[in-house]
Amino acid sequence: MIFELPTPGFSFELLATLGHARAGILHTPRGDIPTPVFMPVGTAGTVKAMTFDELRAPPLDARIILGNTYHLYLRPGLEVMEAAGGLHKFSTWDRPILTDSGGFQVFSLAAINEIDDDGVTFRSHIDGSQHRLTPEVSMHIQKTLGSDIAMCFDQCPPGDAPTDVQEVALARTTAWARRCRAAARAAGQALFGIVQGGIDTARRLRHAAELVPMDFDGHALGGLAVGESIEDTYRVLDEVAHTLPAERPRYLMGVGTPADLERGIAAGIDMFDCVMPTRNARNGYLFTSSGRVNIPNAQYRTDLGPVDPECPCATCRTHSRAYLRHLYQGKEILYSRLATLHNLTFYARHVRRLRDRILDEGQRA
């Protein structure tokens, strides 16, 4: 069952369902994306410690990565992006890219001078320079970057923020979504709306009802894993995700652990991103089929076995836990490369196994 999306060249193919879980394919002009999918985070136009050849090669085979509007706007800047012809040409990544709106980074990283109904005035976390980000500016940046999927500019309060703060953020996010929808986009650039509302599922459902009629190419759940309990995160997922339109891809922003991904897929989510596999890798934490390995631990000093005997990545095929611990202890750059390759491969294979289960055990669409 194939659903054409509002942006020409994009469609969402639903292959099978298992409860609320779905297996499908997001068709884009730059390539097909089997879903569910985990998208590696490439904040500054690079997935930290990885080459694009490594990202493209099996068994990782990343079909889409993320770029960050806020960071790329501040550095290298729009002048460089315009001269290069967009992020794909600048970075030489030839598969799809999703860019976030910059909203989360403005509210979490920058020194905010003023937020009003029009947008946000903030100071750069890099040099303190002052900038103004509005829905139109965010869309202009994403148009210049030339991403395949752009995200609406939204206000992202903490998940446990009080009701009055949530309601103001909700009203602004709805108004800003309309402005993003009306703004000019790059040719062939899809646009996703973002459902906010904190941990109040009634507010979430009300906000979704406001956004869905705007006819976005996909819908995201934002503002989760930002301070609320894991029980509240899962409750919101279970009660809201499957209510979003079945004919559009559903995206859970910035979440999370392998268990979070499994829970999100069961709730009906199709797309995920999180810095956890790359950040944890650099900090010595490796995901395996038998649990997490904290590589600095002394028990691995003479452990000549692979990080994960079940993993086919080059790190596990070639190097031992003892060697990785040696590299980590010595602060060798190679450690970050090998560990990141493994963690990203683990995440990709974890999601693909869940997708295969939906295809094998589910009902064909």
| Active site residues per annotation | 100, 273
The helices-and-strands tally (H runs, E runs) of the chain is 14, 18
- In single-letter form, the type of residue at position 79 comes to E
Q: Are 353 and 289 in contact (CB under 8 A)?
A: no
φ/ψ of 35, rounded to 5, equals -120, 150
CA 275, 301, 326, 314 dihedral sign is: negative
**Collapsed DSSP state (helix, strand, coil) of residue 18:** strand
The Cα 341–Cα 339 span in angstroms is 5
SS3 call for 26: strand
Sign of CA dihedral 164, 200, 104, 244: negative
Find where tokens 């080059």 sit.
Answer: 314
Burial 218-252 (b: 16+ CB within 10 A, else e): bbbbbbbbbebeeebbbebbbebbbbbebebbbbb
Angstrom distance (rounded) from CA 73 to CA 106: 12
